[in-house]
Structure 1
Amino acid sequence: MSILIRGGTVVSATGSALADVLVDGESIAALAVPSTPLAESWSAVAGTVIDATGKYVIPGGIDVHTHMELPFGGTFASDTFETGTRAAAWGGTTTVVDFAVQSKGASLLAGIEAWHAKAEGNCAIDYGFHAIVSDVNEAALKEMDAAVEAGVTSFKMFMAYPGVFYSTDGEIFLAMQKARANGAVIMMHAENGIAIDQLVAQALAEGRTDPVYHGLTRPPELEGEATSRAIQLAKVTGAPLYIVHLTASQALDAVTEARDSGQNVFAETCPQYLYLALDDLAKPDFEGAKYVASPPLRPREHTEALWKGLRTNDLSVISTDHCPFCFKDQKELGRGDFSKIPNGMPGVEHRMDLIYQGVAAGKISKERWVELCSTTPARMFGLYGRKGVIAPGADADIVVYDPDAHQTISAATHHMNVDYSAYEGMEITGRVDTVLSRGSVVISDGEFHGKAGHGRFVRRGLSQYLV
């Protein structure tokens, strides 16, 4: 059945224009200027007409950093692939790229297979995988080639979490060499985990156990140092580098310098680092535990630096690092010891809305909003053409967005499987009106019309930004 989206303003990364969009099956068939004979002829053949007058028509959001069902600290992220992708759809995200975990002592491909088993038949929207490389050895390095052939073309490594995900500089170097050879992207959690562990141990020994010390024992300088070190390793190996969830001006300065020199270095940030801050971690009665994530929330002076980085393209992508843990029974595992609070925050449902607030406030343009949340993620991770654009032949992943609507973010109304909102009571402008995933209407009229199993695994190509 064909669908006509009529009368809206199509917003792309490069401009905006009034246009009607014709969807045929799972793909976008054509665009036309409204009220022309061609556009009018579509009305007679369309099975469904969606009125987008006064609204934006944008490519579906792509969140390239989620953690559904992630094991962490003796528990699991509370969103399954079913609940998490349904919540993503409610917020205008039509593709997620999650992280398949290689366990210590296990093969890299076994981790990817395990994540396929979790996701297959459960997702409401399309999905892909990155692979977390936590055990660098000769076999794992060979498996990186096989993973690329299977459409998993990016690999995350950690300079944090010794004993869990941590890799030495030598291991990182070897993986970067492999990525340079096979065209993959190395994604880096850049914090100096060795030094952080010492600060954590000292704080606990001195009786400083409240959630705020999670932030105070992970100072921004150690994110900046690790980011600089990762950049130098990438420079020597010639590998592309993508810094995940950048939070600190020191890290941003290192990324900016590398990009100005022409190095293939990219970075993302997340909404929580644009709107929340260290003082949220200091909320009384253990409320600060809701905001524990790594890297931590920073003092507020870092926020404007991040917004500037978004405008200058030194920050290229906005993802969520969606990794929710319920306050009751999960975050509470860390009462009396902040180091045992599961690290992660919910966010997949509200990314598009929260970044639109930057448009409403004049911090970024609506075109930059689309670029940060959809088009650049698609180009960065080998999805562009199918995803991240409204153009003939692309997947019909389309969001009709009402810029004049108003809403209040609350755990009482969100759809993520978590018992709190990090943005409780925040009043915002703009709201998703209608969402199509590969031509199927999954959100309309304030109701979910999708289903588990609609989402398909997307084999990704190589990044389109590498030179």
Structure 2
Amino acid sequence: MSILIRGGTVVNVDTEFRADVLCEGGKILAVAAQLEAPAGAEVIDAGGLYVMPGGIDPHTHMQLPFMGTVTQDDFFSGTAAGLAGGTTSIIDFVIPDPQQSLMAAFQQWRSWAEKSAADYSFHVAVTWWDDSVHRDMGTLVQEHGVNSFKHFMAYKNAIMADDEILVNSFSRAVELGAMPTVHAENGELVYRLQQALLTQGKTGPASHPLSRPPVVEAEAAQRAIAIADVLHTPLYIVHVSCAESLAAITLARSKGQRVFGEVLAGHLTVNDSVYQQTDFAQAAAHVMSPPFRAAHHQQALWQGLQSGNLHTTATDHCTFCAAQKAASKDDFTRIPNGCGGIEERMMVLWDAGVNSGKLTPSEFVRVTSANCAQIFNIYPRKGVIAAGSDADLVLWDPAASRTLSVKTQFSRGDFNVFEGRQVRGVPTHTISGGRLAYQLGDLRAVAGAGQYVKRPPYSAVFAAMDKMRSAY
């Protein structure tokens, strides 16, 4: 069926203009003024609304087995919640157990994701190393459209990648035209600080941020940047949460190094006072890594987005319920790490960013979809409203308001990290793959409607340019 969006203001990264948008067969057929509606087309009046590319969340964890339990949102409920908030694509994470085949883990995640209501793709984590990992990385890039590999520099005695693994994996990524990504925290220091706090009897959630201070994130970011520099590979650093890590990225980029930074909507708007709540459930609900930081870090992160040294916005959507969090009430190190946010990300960013003047509507599109699509090599298929691109769009009412709450969210989680926040600027319609998936509070998500998105390897130009730079 065709959909004609009539009379809205189309927003791309480089322009805003009044136009109609015609979608058919999962693609955008035309973007122009006064388009004629085909017979039988559904016509949506977008007068007074923005029409923007559907959001892409580059960091989610649906149906994740982690710390002895599994997240509440699976690939259907999580992507459905995303559609309600204007997000039409996700890049989730395949996380093999140590010694587990990368291909076996990838096939497991692919089977879980078949129920996805929106398009999806995967980063694949490298949690150990031998010749089979080297081989599987090649298969994933060349046959399955994976062009990014994740490395956890934290979680000692579990999935932490030491420097030897980083060097081996980064080197292989260069050969394949793939992008290394890192969770930047010094796992050895985190473990040492955790044990010291437990010894002192500080077992509650308030100790979580104390065990992961900004310096342990900054050290890991600096180390990953140095390894990437020596090996001439681009680098993507997930969930940058502090001014010190941003400073490391900014310095590297000022020297011509290709380093990309991601920031979470939560880290931009929630501060570390949440861990001081006397109610265990409330404090534990905010346990995620890196933790929420003191307010001055939020100012720095906004400046990073504005300056172009942070590039994408994400959620790290990873929902655990109160009972799962409370199972480790006497040991904060065993509280499952994770918060939600896929449904709220774009509303929070518009309210805190566009309404405050920190971002223009075009810059909002840049950090919620276009940059992600370009960095992970799916642009202009996604991240732009243009003829031939996927029909993934969100219609946005900048004047409408909503109060965010667990009581009204579509996510299966029983906590909302943005609880009670009133936002101005909300999605009215979400079109995913040419289908109307959300309209004025009516969620029409369909299990299995989402498609797996292959991401081609990067051009060898990246590596060639970096080698030329290192010769000077």
Unpaired segments of 5 or more residues in structure 2?
Answer: 466-472
3-state SS of paired residue (1:43): coil
Q: Deviations over 1:135-160 (max 9, x none)?
A: 12121012111101111110000110
Letter in 1 for 2:255: S
What's the offset of the Cα at 1:133? 0.8
Match of 1:295 in 2: 290
1:125 to 118, 121, 140: 118
Q: Residues 44 and 97 from structure 1, CA distance in 2 versus in 1: closer, same or farther, beyond 3 angstroms?
A: closer
Letter in 2 for 1:3: I
Query: In 2, Cα distance between the equivalents of 1:10 and 1:445?
Result: 19
What's the offset of the Cα at 1:448? 1.5
* Residues 88, 349 of structure 1: 8 Å contact kept: yes
Unpaired segments of 5 or more residues in structure 1?
Answer: none
Query: In 2, Cα distance between the equivalents of 1:28 and 1:119?
Result: 25
Match of 1:400 in 2: 395
1:95 to 77, 85, 89: 89
1:142 to 135, 142, 148: 135
* Residues 212, 278 of structure 1: 8 Å contact kept: no
TM-score, scaled to structure 2: 0.95
Match of 1:31 in 2: 31
3-state SS of paired residue (1:399): strand
Match of 2:470 in 1: none
- Mapped pair 1:173 → 2:167: yes
* Residues 189, 244 of structure 1: 8 Å contact kept: yes
Query: In 1, Cα distance between the equivalents of 2:226 and 2:292?
Result: 26
Matches for 1:260-275 after TM superposition, within 5 Å: 260-275=254-269
Match of 2:21 in 1: 21
Match of 1:461 in 2: 456
Match of 1:239 in 2: 233
What's the offset of the Cα at 1:45? 4.0
* Residues 436, 442 of structure 1: 8 Å contact kept: yes
3-state SS of paired residue (1:330): helix
Letter in 2 for 1:134: T
- Mapped pair 1:163 → 2:139: no
- Mapped pair 1:208 → 2:196: no
* Residues 380, 463 of structure 1: 8 Å contact kept: no
Query: In 2, Cα distance between the equivalents of 1:175 and 1:20?
Result: 46
Query: In 1, Cα distance between the equivalents of 2:228 and 2:27?
Result: 38
* Residues 146, 457 of structure 2: 8 Å contact kept: no
What's the offset of the Cα at 1:46? 5.7
Query: In 1, Cα distance between the equivalents of 2:332 and 2:425?
Result: 36
Letter in 1 for 2:94: A
Q: Deviations over 1:378-403 (max 9, x none)?
A: 11112112111110011100111111
Query: In 2, Cα distance between the equivalents of 1:252 and 1:320?
Result: 18
Tell me the C-alpha RMSD between the 2 structures: 1.2
Q: Deviations over 1:191-227 (max 9, x none)?
A: 0110110110010010111211100111101111110
3-state SS of paired residue (1:361): coil
What's the offset of the Cα at 1:446? 1.7
Query: In 2, Cα distance between the equivalents of 1:68 and 1:128?
Result: 12
What's the offset of the Cα at 1:462? 2.9
3-state SS of paired residue (1:129): strand
Q: Deviations over 1:393-431 (max 9, x none)?
A: 111001111111000000000011111111111111011
3-state SS of paired residue (1:363): coil
Match of 2:190 in 1: 196
1:307 to 293, 302, 306: 302
Letter in 2 for 1:5: I
3-state SS of paired residue (1:418): coil
* Residues 379, 463 of structure 1: 8 Å contact kept: no
* Residues 265, 345 of structure 2: 8 Å contact kept: yes
Match of 2:469 in 1: none
Match of 1:62 in 2: 56
Query: In 2, Cα distance between the equivalents of 1:46 and 1:377?
Result: 34
- Mapped pair 1:388 → 2:402: no
Query: In 2, Cα distance between the equivalents of 1:411 and 1:78?
Result: 14
TM-score, scaled to structure 1: 0.96
3-state SS of paired residue (2:327): helix
Q: Deviations over 1:321-349 (max 9, x none)?
A: 1111012x111122121111100100111
